């Protein structure tokens, strides 16, 4: 499954592993075949989307900047 209605090339299918609810924003951890992806979204969106641990989702990653450092 992929989402083609939006312009996002980096799409990672996975399941919600953990949700840390906050008063305004929440952290949603998604376990993908490539590792863990964490999304910070509004708590209202968590409730509106009825997100729960175990829910299958697609993490859409779009960034205007990615910084790299040499180790």
The pTM of the whole model exceeds 0.85: no
Q: Are strands 56-61 and 35-42 parallel, antiparallel or unpaired?
A: unpaired
List C-alpha distances in Å: 42 to 21, 59, 64. Answer: 9, 15, 20
Question: Could you tell me the domains of the chain?
Answer: 14-60 (2.40.50.100)
pLDDT range class, residue 8, cuts 50, 70, 90: low
**Residues 25-70: tens digit of each pLDDT:** 999 999 999 999 999 999 999 999 999 999 999 998 877 777 778 8
Residues forming beta bridges with residue 11, ordered by sequence position = 60
């Amino acid at each position: 499954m992929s989402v083609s209605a939006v312009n996002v090339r980096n799409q990672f299918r996975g399941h919600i592993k953990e949700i840390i609810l906050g008063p305004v924003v929440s952290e949603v951890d998604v376990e993908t075949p490539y590792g863990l992806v964490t999304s910070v979204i509004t708590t209202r969106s968590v409730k509106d989307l009825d997100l729960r641990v175990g829910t299958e989702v697609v993490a859409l990653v779009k960034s205007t900047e990615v910084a790299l450092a040499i180790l």
